[in-house]
A and B are shown apart, each in its own frame.
Chain A
Amino acid sequence: MEQLSNSLARTPLNSVVVKRRSKTKSFRQSYRSCLGLTPALTARRLSKSRKAPKSHYITEKVNPEHLALLLKSEWKLSYVTPLYQFRHTQLKSYSRQLSAFIAAEKQQGFAVEVDGSQSNFRVSFSVVQGMTETEDDAETVLIQIHSKPLFAKQSEAQRSVWSGWLTCVNGNSDYLCSLPKDFICLPLFGSSGSEVLTTLVQSWFQKMFDCCFGPLEMNNTCLQWLAALWTNCHPESSIQHLKMIWTLPVVPPLQITYTVNPKDAWKLWSSVRKDPCEENKEEEGVSIDIEDVMRFMQGLKSHFYRHFRLDLSAGCLKQVSTALGSATFSGRVKISNSQYILSTLTLLTECALFKMPV
């Protein structure tokens, strides 16, 4: 636009601004748009179709001790924005720092002297190898906090009082690749133990890695997916029951517990499934469409309607549980079977990535 430089209406202010900014950097910030930043608005949706859970031989890949821990408790889920400058190589030092942080926070307001070296909390960070599905996934990190019980005797051993993990299984690779190198994306955080400790751990992460934690609720679609995915596993490992809890918006609020016999559930599921293409089955595994899931749920709902004249579509699915695991609307999940842990975590990772602000 050299030719315009002599035009009369050019305001002097512009040229001042031009001088201030260097050429290479100028666009970066000013033309930063969320549209280019991440595939935020288009790519990050819940998948419309996913592969049926294969029974992974996960026990061979993952340390059985870790696996047992993951299966043991019910986890309260949160989403986490990417961690800035998190290093898997620094876990030892993180353990030290977090235990010091917890000790310091716990002392606040008491002003009781701590016996300097000996903190009552022992934190351990560890990597759970083998939980990843793709190259872009960062390795899962497990955090455990041990402590002595209140007024314990000196001789008593410390026991685990809190545990939590950060994971990313099958994360959207477009999203993961769009992040600069300084960021590690472990969007799914599960915790089990006292809420006070959860808050402390979260605030330590926030201070250390400049990330944010938000509660991860599981919406209807997500819970319906879980119900279908688990039912789909029935022939290989029995689900024993398919239990769903619905709430209906009536006065007074009505809660409905709907338990389905596993065989019936499986029958219904097989009837709504499209014929799985034989050729695909061998190579890629069976894929399940959202339509299948919706038909399955519709079948369950209309069955219920036939008996009780109550349309569950008006309500809200609050909880799904089978022998393979359970999940609640408020974001509590228990996975009871190691074989299907990865497919469940894939779905949950998707939900967590869906919540990412940018």
Chain B
Amino acid sequence: MAAKLNVSESSESDSPNLSNLSACSRTGSRSLRVAEKERRKNGAEEPFVLALKYFSNVEAGTPVIGNDEFERNMVLVEQVAYFKGLSPEAISVMLEFAMSSRMGTNPCVRVLKCLIPTTMVPQEAVVRGVAWLGVGKIPISSQVLFIKWVLTIFDMIDAKDQLRAIYGFIFSFVTEESLCPFICHLLYLLTRKESDIEHKMYLLFPQGRQPFLSHLLSLYKVLCPELVTLSIPSRMRSGFRNHNSPWKSALIAVQKSNGSQTDSSTSLPLTIKEKTSLRKRKHKHLELPVLSSQVNKQPQTEPFTSRKVVPLAQLHSLSQLLENMHCIELPAQMGSLLGSSLALQYLDCVQDESALLRLNFWLGYALNEEFFFCGDGGGSQTSEEALQFLDKLLSSQQFLQEGFSSTEAFLYKFLSVWDGSLFRPQILSLLSNIPVVPNSQIGQLLFEPLMQLFFTSSLFFRCGLMECLNNMLLKWLTWHSVYALEDDLDISLNSHTSINMTLSGFKDSVMELIHFAGRLGSVGLQLEGCHSLLLSFILDFYETVCDTFLKYGLPLVVMPPPGVFYPALFAPDPVSVDRLVNIMYRYKVNLTSAKSKEKQAFHISRQTFREFNHYIVVMVNCLWNSKMFQPDMGIQLGEELLLKSNIPEYWASFDLVHHPAFLSYAVDFHQRVSADHLDGHDLCLHSKPWTWYLEFLNSQGYDGTGFSLFPSFKNNASYTEYGQHLCFISAMLQNGFQG
């Protein structure tokens, strides 16, 4: 049944592969696409299987030069190897082929180079390979390559018992000069206490004192201290050299593309020394230090020597933290706090100046090194690391509910070089955490770079930036509402680490920020053709702005610029219009409240009142009173021009009935009402339907436009007119149906 369905689908969709019908019916309920995929895979696999067959069966002495078949098969194997790696069986076949030198020694190197395992390497293959070394047919360079390969894939060999069983055999190659370093490394990895060290030891001594030998010896000394009397220098160079193996990058690529996340298989057998040394030095700055207790104990000269201290690293729960609050010792490296919420909690409590500064030094260092000084940090791995680091930083800041000063300093520098897309969400979130910037510097540090970015970036950046500014404003206001209550109005600090800021200074900064966002919003809406997504973010911002006085206790009321107000008023979506009405309502409440307390609170400039009144008049006339384009309103168009437009009743074209955002609701409303009991004619006569309509809008969730916020307009004398407007709708609908 399912198969049939699939067939018909495929013919409908004009699938090019009707030939796989049989495969399809065989797989039964599987969809065509899966089957198709499988078929392709099998198709690709088949020649590969044939190629492997060729290599396992090829006769000894077959010439290589001019052998097209060999060439074709070899290329195939190489492609598969570099693309997704070789299966264990394939590895066995190819290794056997290479080491047996059936086609001479030439292909050996080529084969070895493409031996990239997908998952694991069968031990037998490796043992056989080692056995071939003893035959002595292979040139020494290929032997070295083979051992290097074994070292590279050592962790991927499925078992090591057989390899250990031939420990002595492997050991015999120590005498081979060019093999010796690699053999030593391999032995180092294979050596167990049971390994028959005793006999080996004497062989090693005549070999000289190269570092690889002394390494092996040092291991022997650990296992059988009684045998090795030689004093092993503890100072050794960097252990076994990290053989620059040709497989490493291919191996990593293959494992990445196969999505194998197993760390053990990607980690190459490096000696411990190499792991700790400078392999990834460049990006080491992003590693969080380990949370460890202080090493640098101060000499206890005070009489409190017996005071017990508890290192932060030993605490594991909040209750433990609370119990030991009085005697907690900060960690040696403050950077380690970033990873632990418990430690952050403590940091938040103690407010230790030096501790914070230490944390900031480390953090700033890491950010600078990553984003400024690290010239070629490009790779994907780097950005992954950086991303994790930034996320961790962000979550710490969110936990503490404030930004770090080093992040701030970093951001000011970074904004001037930022392209606006690198880590956009993270950088914008960090930016929204910065503390209040003094009025005198805000333009240069913040606005200039942001303005440039805003004009040159995509819509998403613009929306993101508006959101960021909104969050920034929210944080500043919250900060003010918390602290202004404590100390009087004057927020001045005389600690040498902080700046002085008075209330008026703070107000100026907030005002600058709001004006800046207003400018960006106006221009942004123009550039984006009043994009409703951008408009929504801008309205978010003004929802914060309109409540600065009542919600956050900041005596400041700033009106939106016309470039924001009018696009919102004439927006084609009802949500934006409704939000604008809500915002205007909150402005009204704030202003009324401020005016009633004006003597004590603050002075609001007449300009603000004038702007507000003007907006209200426009809004009410436009939405409810159908009196657009009246001479005293802001929008003025020539009478003749309006007549020329041939729009009937142009003054009503943006009321709640005709407004493009609400027209559909008006239609909907009309249909419901007339379906119920009233015919269109009645609507025109009654004044009640208008109230019903508004209630209807209210019930649809538009409480702003639905009059519940501006109840005073209900008594507007002109609202009988609305009956006529609805009548117009009715007429229009009837015409529509007829036509």
A interface residues (Cβ-Cβ under 8 A, vs B): 1, 3-5, 7-11, 14-15, 17-18, 21, 23, 25-37, 40-41, 81-82, 84-85, 90, 97, 103, 105-114, 119-121, 147-148, 150-152, 178-180, 182-183, 195-196, 199, 206-212, 214-215, 217, 355-358
Contact = CB atoms under 8 A, between A and B. Distances in A.
B356 A29 contact: yes
B272 A109 contact: yes
Given A1-B553, A7-B550, A106 B272 contact: no
B363, B410, B481, B488: residue with the most chain A Cβ atoms closer than 10 Å: B481
B493 A212 contact: no
Contact of B373 (A41, A183, A214): A214
A217 B369 CA distance: 12
Nearest to B232: A112
Contacts of B479: 30-31
B367 interface: yes
B435 A33 contact: yes
A138 to B, nearest CB: 16
Contact of A32 (B235, B276, B498): B498
Interface stretch (B436-444, B557-565, B629-637): B436-444
Contacts of A182: 354
23 contacts: A14-B485, A28-B498, A32-B405, A33-B405, A33-B436, A33-B498, A34-B406, A35-B499, A37-B357, A82-B361, A84-B296, A85-B296, A105-B276, A106-B235, A106-B236, A108-B272, A108-B273, A120-B234, A120-B235, A180-B357, A211-B361, A212-B366, A358-B361
B601 A212 contact: no
B238 A212 contact: no
B132 interface: no
Nearest to B589: A9
Interface in B539-568: 547, 550-551, 553
A213 B547 CA distance: 47
Interface string B265-308: 00000011100111001000100010010011011000000000
Contacts of B299: 90
Contacts of B482: 14, 17-18, 21, 26, 30
Contact of B234 (A27, A32, A106, A207): A106
B349 to A, nearest CB: 9
A230 to B, nearest CB: 26
A30 B233 CA distance: 54
Contacts of A27: 483, 487, 491, 493, 495, 498
A81 B365 contact: yes
A82 B359 CA distance: 12
Contacts of A112: 218, 221-222, 232, 234
A112 B232 CA distance: 8
B551 A9 contact: yes
A35 B361 contact: no
Contacts of B366: 212
Contacts, number: 230
B550 A31 contact: no
Interface in B556-613: 593, 597, 600-601
Contact of B273 (A3, A90, A109): A109
A1 B353 contact: no
A28 B495 contact: yes
Contact of B497 (A15, A32, A84, A211): A32
B593 A7 contact: yes
A32 B608 CA distance: 33
A121 B486 contact: no
A29 B357 CA distance: 11
Q: 4 tightest A-B contacts by CB?
A: A357-B364, A109-B272, A36-B499, A9-B550
B516 to A, nearest CB: 18
A97 B296 CA distance: 10
Contacts of A4: 553, 601
Interface string B401-414: 01001101110110
B26 interface: no
Contacts of A17: 482
Contact of B487 (A23, A36, A107, A209): A23
B356 A32 contact: yes
Interface in B406-456: 406, 408-410, 412-413, 434-438, 441, 445
Interface string B158-192: 00000000000000000000000000000000000
Contacts of B412: 34, 41
Contacts of A33: 405, 408, 434-437, 498-499
Contacts of B597: 3
B587 to A, nearest CB: 13
A150 B236 contact: yes
B501 interface: yes
Given A3-B600, A35-B438, A207-B333, A357 B365 contact: yes
Contacts of A28: 351, 353, 493, 495, 497-498
Nearest to B361: A81
Given A208-B332, A210-B332, A357-B360, A180 B498 contact: no
Contacts of B402: 29-30, 32
B626 interface: no
A23 B550 CA distance: 23
B511 interface: no
B496 interface: yes
A357 B406 contact: yes
B368 interface: yes
Contacts of B360: 37, 357-358
Contacts of B234: 103, 106-107, 110, 112, 114, 119-120
Given A8-B550, A26-B486, A33-B436, A214 B285 contact: yes
Given A33-B435, A112-B222, A151-B233, A357 B410 contact: yes
Nearest to B401: A30
Given A33-B405, A180-B354, A208-B296, 8 more contacts: A14-B478, A28-B497, A31-B483, A37-B360, A37-B497, A40-B409, A208-B295, A212-B365
B548 to A, nearest CB: 11
B362 interface: yes
Contacts of B351: 25, 28-29
Contacts of A180: 353-354, 357, 497
Interface string B35-72: 00000000000000000000000000000000000000
Given A25-B351, A121-B235, A183 B357 contact: yes
Contacts of B295: 97, 207-208
B493 A1 contact: no
B358 interface: yes
B476 to A, nearest CB: 11
B342 interface: no
B239 A109 contact: yes
A81 B367 CA distance: 14
A308 B278 CA distance: 42
